[in-house]
Amino acid sequence: MSKKDMFRKEQRFSFRKFSFGLASAVIANVIFGGAIANSPVVHANTETRAESAETVSSAIGEPVKLNAATIPVSPEGEQTLSEENQASKQAENQEAATFDKTLLEKLILEADLLIKEGEKKLADNAELGAAVAAAKPVLGAAQAVFSDQAASAEQVAEQEEALRQASSKVGDQLALLSEDGNVTVVLTTSAATDDMIRYPSTADEATPKGYVRVEFAQGPYTKSGAWVWKGNPGEFRNAKKVVYFVKEGTTWGQLVDNPQFIFPEADLEDSDVVVGWIWNNTGYSPNIALQPRKKHQNSLVINSVLKPNVVYKAEQVEPLNASIEEYKGKYSEEDAEKWRFITFDAQGGQAPVKNQVNGSIVQRTLYSVAVYYQGIAYSNGEFTKRVFNPTLDKHTFVRWQTDEKKVLPKDATIISEDETYKALYIKHLDTQITVGNQAALKPKEKAAVEAAIRQANPDTADLIETITVNDNGSVVVTYKGGGSVTLPTHLNVVEDLETAKADANKAIDDAKAAALSAIEASNNLTPEQRAAAKQEVETAATKANTAIDVATTPAEAQVAEDKGVAAITGDILDVAKQDAKNKVVAEADAVKAAIDNNPGLSDVQKTAGKADIDKAVEAALISINGAGTYYELLQIKLPVAALIKPVVQTTPVVDPNNLTDAELARIKVLLEENNDFPAGTEIIVAKAGSVTIKYPDGSIDLVTPAETVKQADLTAPVIEDDAKGNIVITPSEEATKLVITYVDKNGKAQTVVVTKDSNGLWTTTDAVVIVDSVTGQVTIPDSEMKPNTQVTAYSEDEAGNVSATGLVEIVAVDENNPSAGVKVKSADKKAKQLPNTGEKDNSVASLGLAALGMGLALFAAKRKKDEEEA
């Protein structure tokens, strides 16, 4: 009997061969009200008490004898279930019995138990191993359907039948291994033998006296479900927590050694794994993380909330850490042992290691990847994305392999020990093989290339499986154990005379075809001239081909090609040049006409733009006259920069020597809005305000800061009286918005906003003030203002720059004659200049409140003075 068997009371169920009692354990659990306390296990040929058994049905089919006498009860003095709870339980059981997934749940538990027992005996029977392997995916599929609330009845029935068949095959093999064909199911109940652990009936049940609470709570990076429900005690379907009650005086070591204590499985993304536990919301730290088998083994269990420390299944060691030891130091001693390290040695090369935090690339000759120690495959995405191919001068990387020639696997599970993989390269040829035509290598030439590659790589020649030299000189090398590389043509071969001749003859043929096409398309030749020109081209091409064919070196073939092309194009070049000149002049005339008709350009800009076009035309005509071939002629065009005169709108700025990001962005936006640039045009605005406009053809326009920016006028609006009892506010010429505050005759603060529209006219919605639509000057009538208050005003320009704020105090012209109006008592008591933050609306409200406050204060002071004098 194992240590695990010694510490529990058991339920035992006996059945023969095809009669599996696992589901009957579930049935018994429902009947007697007990909760399953641990992952069930199966024992073959264990003791059977038939004399006290009653027969119930297995979920798989045949009758099962249930030994009711072995069902443990609650500790003495405690009642298993109250009568009320029993009635409730029976109602729940009745409801569960009619639920369409009840049978599937039983079958899942049976299959899980059989698979676990079968895994213990895999070495005893190959057929058992096959049955267990086949049952696992069936169990997984059934669990998925069971958890799927949208699963149909047909899907449930399909999984039930599949589990019956898979479980029968495993049970059959287990029965064959027993002496009498009996298999007994053993389940642990909720009453622990030593009362070390008790289980709550709900996730929020209060901790009983004499016990402490160990709660597993949802942590960072877990899914919304938090835990994978497996039906273990302490688990509650769809709950965010798993709870154990642990007897006071129990140490952590005793608790984790108790077979009834099971760490729950966190519901995680496929890329994640739990390494350690965050203890009582302290955050994970190597010094305070729970270590039940090491640091805290002899420490008493206290009320604890444990959250999973979720990390990637594979993590980069360098460059985030200086070494493996530094990486392990970030974990507790117990948790650090859960990592294995795969080290990659680039063998003198450089691996472009990607920083998993900021994405930067660091070249390293040596780096490591930390991998969780259980069940992680080399194909795991978190591992594969941290494997980088290195580079080495004059070499091509092939694969990673160990000193024992083990190739980095693609699918297998990573072994439970550290490994080092080294880079395998293939060396390039120091001197390429000379061939006649690299587009069509001959057999002898291919053989020479293969031999040279093997000779250049003597240390790895035994690893090479095949070398395939292609017709174009590229080479594919495959390696034993996996891996292949392709070496491009230029690394392997160089051409000789034959290739040079073929290329030269092709150039002559291309030139001839282009010349004949140009002659046919020219409108300046008569039929006779066209026929004569074509004959001259044919003659020149034949002469060139002959000269190329008799060339003895690649250099001679090139000379013959050059002369032939010149001869072919010479006869029609004059006609082509005249056509090109006419085209350039026509394009230029069209652009100058468009400039003249552009209302967005001043006369000065139009004159300058047309002058630029004339200069471009002159340069193009010079190039046309100097063209030596028809191909050169085709490349001569007016640059886009000469055909476009950018319309530039000046932006007012606070500091022309230190433009803000918003001001730079405005310059670019205005250029884009005011011009129809061709697709692919790039606008680059420098910090000082200069602009470079790059057109798709490579030509550029330069715009100076003097054209793009100007100093913003930040002077405050002028506030004065008109000697008639009115107050007049005048904005600057650059202003497009004017904001005024004053206190009206009723003592109420007023804010007036006046704006300039796209036609340059000033308007306001305020019905009191009078606005000059041309100048923007605003008049506040004397009858609308309260004496002994303040008037403020500031303005904004088209770019949103805010001026200083003007502020004056106004008094009555004649205190004894209110109809005389008001006048300015003092000026230049300016409020602070508003910052150019772009948040103008709040500033308006602030100024209005300030003005009201100041106005009321002055009014109160005057009233007090009047009362004292009276």
Average pLDDT across the chain, whole number:
79
Whether residue 617 lies inside any domain: the answer is no
Prediction pTM value = 0.42
In 3D space, the residue among 244, 239, 236, 249 whose CA is nearest the CA of residue 199 turns out to be 244
Q: Is the dihedral of CA 458, 459, 462, 464 positive or negative?
A: negative
Residue 709: is it exposed, middle or buried by C-beta count within 10 angstroms (0-12/13-18/19+)?
Answer: buried
3-state secondary structure 323-392: CHHHHHCCCCHHHHCCEEEEEEECCCCEEEEECCCCCCEEEECEEEEEEECCCCECCCHHHHCCCCCCEC
Residue 785 domain-assigned (yes or no): yes
3-state secondary structure of 207: coil
What ranges in 148-229 are assigned the alpha helix state H?
153-177
Token pair for residue 374?
């259980």
Of the listed ranges 245-254, 298-307, 467-476, 680-689, the one predicted with least confidence: 680-689
Which CATH number covers residue 471?
3.10.20.890
Q: Which pLDDT tens digit goes with each residue over 660-717?
A: 888 889 988 988 888 888 898 999 888 888 888 888 888 888 888 888 888 888 899 9
Q: Which has the higher per-residue pLDDT, 833 or 263?
A: 263
Q: Is residue 264 part of a domain?
A: no
What 3-state DSSP class applies to 401? strand
CA distance 226 to 268: 8
Name the least confident of 55-69, 164-178, 761-775, 821-835: 55-69
Q: Provide the token pair at 454.
A: 């093997």
Higher pLDDT, 275 or 813: 275
- Confidence grade of residue 870 (pLDDT, cut at 50, 70, 90): very low
764 and 854 in a single domain? The answer is yes
Q: How many Å apart are CA 577 and CA 764, to the nearest integer?
A: 64
Query: Domain holding 333: CATH number?
Result: 2.60.40.4270
Structure tokens at 244: 């154990």
**CA pseudo-torsion sign 222, 224, 230, 235:** positive
| Residue 763 placed within a domain | yes
Task: State whether 502 and 484 are in the same domain.
Answer: no
Alpha carbon 870 to its chain centroid, in Å, reads 79
Q: Residue 63: enclosing H or E segment and its boundaries?
A: strand 63-67
Residues 709 and 431: their CA atoms lie apart, in Å, by: 60
**Which range (41-45, 129-133, 329-333) has the least confidence?**
41-45
Could you tell me if 595 and 737 lie in one domain?
no
Q: End of a domain among 402, 427, 452?
A: 427
pLDDT of residue 53: 35
Find where tokens 């006028």 sit: 713
- Distances in Å between the alpha carbon of 584 and those of 161, 330, 381, 606, 677? 84, 72, 59, 20, 20
Based on the fold, state whether residues 753 and 694 are members of the same structural domain.
no
Measure the CA–CA gap between 538 and 556, rounded to whole angstroms: 21
**Tally of residues, the chain:** 870
Using the predicted structure, report yes or no on whether residue 403 has a pLDDT greater than 90: yes
Q: Please, which residues have CB within 8 angstroms of residue 813's CB and are 6 or more apart in sequence?
A: 725, 820, 821, 822, 823
pLDDT on residue 524: 55
For the ranges 78-82, 93-97, 538-542, 663-667, the lowest mean pLDDT is seen at: 78-82
- Tell me if 313 sits within 8 A of 376, measured CB to CB: yes
Considering its fold, how many domains does the chain have in total? 6
Q: Which structural domain, as residue segments, surrounds residue 670?
A: 646-711
Question: Does residue 703 lie within any of the structural domains?
Answer: yes
Say which DSSP state 300 is in.
B
Report DSSP state, residue 407: B
Q: Are residues 687 and 727 in the same domain?
A: no
Determine, yes or no, domain membership for 35.
Answer: yes
- DSSP string for residues in 763-800: EES-SSSEE-TTT--EEE-GGGB-SSEEEEEEEEETT-
pLDDT reported for residue 651: 87
| Cα distance between the two ends of the chain | 113
User: 34: pLDDT confidence band, cut at 50, 70 and 90?
Assistant: very low
CB 701 within 8 A of CB 693: yes
Tokens found for residue 225: 């479900």
Burial code (b: 16+ CB inside 10 Å, e: under 16) for 617-628 equals: beebbebbeebe
435/405 Cα distance (integer angstroms):
36
Nearest C-alpha neighbor of 379 from the set 368, 388, 387: 387
pLDDT score, position 60: 52
Q: Are residues 467 and 549 in the same domain?
A: no
pLDDT of residue 179: 63
Examine the domain organization and report whether 372 and 356 are in the same domain: yes
pLDDT tens, 775-800? 999 999 988 899 999 999 999 988 88
Q: Does 364 share its domain with 330?
A: yes
Q: Is the pLDDT of residue 82 over 70?
A: no
Decide which of 676, 694, 711 is a domain's last residue: 711
- Euclidean distance between CA atoms 521 and 646, whole angstroms: 36
Q: Are residues 165 and 34 in the same domain?
A: yes
What's the average model confidence in pLDDT over 178-184?
60
Q: If you write DSSP's letter for every residue of 653-717 in order, what string do you get?
A: ES-TTS--HHHHHHHHHHHHHH--PPTT-EEEE-TTS-EEEE-TTS-EEEE-HHHHEEE---PPP
- pLDDT band, residue 572 (cuts 50/70/90): low
- Mean pLDDT within 157-170: 88
Condensed to tens digits (0 to 9), the pLDDT of residues 344-394 reads 999 999 999 988 788 899 999 999 999 998 888 899 999 999 999 999 999
- Strands 395-401 and 10-16, by their bridges, are unpaired
Residue partners of 360: CB distance under 8 A and separation at least 6: 354
31 and 122 fall within a common domain: yes
Q: Looking at the predicted structure, is the pLDDT value of residue 182 above 80?
A: no
Question: Rounded CA gap, 340 and 132, in Å?
Answer: 29
Last residue of a domain, one of 427, 458, 480: 427
The pair of three-digit structure tokens given for residue 50, joined into one six-digit string: 């038939």
Task: Check: CB of residue 306 under 8 Å from CB of residue 290.
Answer: yes
CB count within 10 Å of CB 639 equals: 17
Residue 446 and residue 399 share a domain: no
Whether residue 181 sits in one domain with residue 43: yes
For tokens 């800061």, name the residue. 705
Q: How far apart are CA 73 and CA 80, in angstroms?
A: 7
In a domain, 292, yes or no: no
**Higher model confidence: residue 576 or residue 133?**
133
Residue 183: what pLDDT? 58
- How many contiguous H segments (helices) and E segments (strands) does the chain have? 20, 37
- For residue range 525-564, list pLDDT tens digits in order: 678 877 888 898 999 999 999 999 999 887 788 789 889 9
Would residue 668 count as lying in a domain? yes
Place of tokens 């007049």: 728
Tell me the C-alpha distance between 260 and 188, whole Å: 8
As a whole number of angstroms, the distance between CA 833 and CA 426 comes to: 71
Query: Which long-range contacts does 100-106 make (Cβ < 8 Å, 24+ apart)?
Result: 100/153, 100/156, 101/146, 101/151, 101/156, 103/59, 103/160, 104/142, 104/145, 104/146, 104/156, 104/159, 104/160, 104/163, 105/26, 105/146, 106/22, 106/23, 106/26, 106/27, 106/59
Residue 89: burial class (beta carbons within 10 Å; 0-12, 13-18, 19+): middle
